[in-house]
Structure 1
């Protein structure tokens, strides 16, 4: 743990893959930045876009987001916040004229820094956004959710839940707050509270697949921890029903495939993992989990093959490297042979 913490302090912050960013943002149903980017994209298709030469840097950041140019998103946010970041930023006329854009740019840049693992700078931007007098309700609440998650990564659980509580006081009908707090509860193995939060999120957004899938997952984990085989079987059956309810959810198929593997139903597990991959062939994590199922059946060579396939799709997939490295270490222990692992340039 100490070595891991030391590594996180010294690692160079890098943006994850496009899919990782997309997958993270898809866990929000009320992210104001994503909603604004979608609206901008719709206007572009209707030929109502503002002349790019007259666009502000925040708008250009949204355009870069829609184009999948995530490095440019950060660049444009920095340009938008140039006056704000400077010691004399409060007196910068251009900043004063675009106060709302500044608040949104702080949220967007903070999100990118969070995804890069630059926690200290992310916290600074989220806090500045939350305290900004011109940040609207949705922007403040979204920043509070993301700051809460950063607090959790920093092992500051008290501040994490304080931010969730504050977000709910501001907007008690925001399903994203319950959904992400439910995920935190699940990570902390507070399963009853997690189910309660997912229930509240589902009541607000019954057609949002991630909440329904996560609720079934936490129910399964709770039953598994209790070692109640009857409950485990019932939870697996309900999970299958939920996956059938949302047949286009690759996450649902992938997670259910992992559960089936836990229950030694390997053939069915393979079928659901294959289904997940067909639904979302750009998700490298599906291939990593598929490889882990091969490990459970003692087929290490097949597992390594899936790690390689995952890295071809997403060269930045750290989980694939970690899993592959673990497999190679095990190979050394068993056979005294280690194959090289190629890293992306």
Structure 2
């Protein structure tokens, strides 16, 4: 019986829904935003979104609902696409950032989720759902980090000079801003085993950058770029460092090239809470 009902519903979705007009658009929106089977609501939301007479405000609202329904079905990429479209229509809607943050949280991208919750709270301070979700995402990030470190610790007890494991622990610490001295020690130990590994030089460059030793960071990034000139990651890190040293044009050029080679690299570093620094003044960079 359930199978027959499902078949009937699928047939109805395919053929029973007529194109919207001004008279039926309001009803479709009520069905999109109301109760009932998720697939049916999705079809109604899609009809509202596709109707030429739908206002931008309602289209954004329908995209939020459809994105939420897709997220419930674990269709995370399609949900993110809906929220992205909604933001282009209504960039100051805190609910879009909240719902997108929930998708990132569900997929384990806790840093990006926190950024979205922060956006939602900036638009609507005190939004309880965003406050609760942000606290949960921070705890999940901490738990995930601690578990990853524990696994690396255990493996390094068995093979203490494994350069890839040492670099992995160095990188994990630096992107979580945890014990930069220990991160530096891991990167140094990795390079002692495998000198001139550009991936480790990149990791150590970021450690030095976050420690504020920009000259040492630039030396590591320069070395990494010489070994792998087409790596967007290495170029982006060098761009950050050059900007911090007052080499604004060179840094911007590095970052532009990095984005060409590794699209989305800037957003990836933003997820680590690593933003382009305020350029040093000419007098500071000359000292």
Q: TM-score range by the shorter chain?
A: 0.3 to 0.5
The higher relative CO (CA closer than 8 Å, separation ≥ 6) is in 1
TM-score, normalization: structure 1? 0.36
Q: Which has more radius of gyration?
A: 2
TM-score, normalization: structure 2? 0.43
